[in-house]
Chain A
């Protein structure tokens, strides 16, 4: 009965969508603001990657809201598991073999280096803070799964996360104190295509990368080690 009602509802919605999809052509420019960002992007913000200049330069406040949502989710997760104890080692798991253990220890600094490279060069090549942070968190997930009993220290990850957030908001407030708007680009823009260019955009991306990486690692740590 429930399946029939579900299929009927979806069929009605599908019919309406197929009728209206014929009006949307594929492959034709649809908005005008994209063209404005492409043509004026380099001289107004200084970064070669137009998606980075939209995410951090033109729409920087939305990125601040996104970081707040991620922060709230991590806090909520820590609060739900608040009264649980940390387990020292997995009780019912057998220890991994020697090859898996050595391979994970060897791969861990390499993956950290790739993640750091991606968020350092966010304004020149495809990449940025969120991608680099996710790669760092997946390196920590590998250490949790592959080696037996290695855990991250709580205090280090909390300090890095707090420093990342405070740096981002602090750079915005410096823009307010100068006399212009929040998140104003007050450092010199430099030559587009080099590492030290685009004003405060690389500094913001380093702060975002470290914050997202330590936050997602903290989420994985809470899910694996806390139990009643």
Chain B
């Protein structure tokens, strides 16, 4: 129980990273590879935020109930992950349009068949 208490977030984050990596390495359909990239990104965000957590800490916002700086969580990883989430959605939108263009040109979304095409 003590082991679970300490490491449950790391286990969850790294499971997502490994499943995402496996989907990118093994699957043939291009849309599934894009979904796998998204899962890999979500795992990395979870890992970064769980690095900045302090036990029995509160959110880093000075509301009018607590105007003293007592025991707040680290705010720097949260700012980095906020930037990373927006960049992730931009990359996914561009990848999806390139996949649609590939489908209209080749007629299939299978990566093995697209690699074997001649000019």
Q: Which residues of A contact B (CB under 8 A)?
A: 2-3, 6-7, 9-10, 13-14, 17, 21, 24-31, 33-34, 37-39, 42, 48-51, 54-55, 59, 62-63, 66, 69-70, 72-74, 76-77, 80-81, 125-126, 128, 130, 192-193, 212, 216, 219, 222-223, 228
Contacts and interface: CB of A to CB of B under 8 A. Distances in A.
A24 B6 CA distance: 11
Size category, B interface: 35 or more
B90 A69 contact: yes
SS class, residues of chain A in contact with chain B: helix
Interface in B82-97: 82-83, 85-87, 89-91, 93-94, 96-97
Contact of B6 (A7, A9, A27): A27
SS class, residues of chain B in contact with chain A: helix
20 contacts: A10-B21, A14-B14, A17-B14, A24-B10, A24-B51, A28-B55, A37-B76, A39-B69, A48-B63, A49-B62, A50-B60, A50-B72, A51-B75, A55-B79, A63-B83, A66-B87, A74-B93, A76-B94, A80-B98, A219-B93
B75 A21 contact: no
A223 B96 contact: yes
Nearest to A26: B6
Given A10-B21, A50-B72, A66 B86 contact: yes
Interface string B48-75: 0011111100011111100001001011
Given A24-B51, A228-B104, A77 B26 contact: no
A228 B103 CA distance: 13
A49 B61 contact: yes
B79 A73 contact: no
Identify the interface centre among B63, B82, B98: most chain A CB within 10 Å of its CB.
B82
Contact of A26 (B50, B85, B89): B50
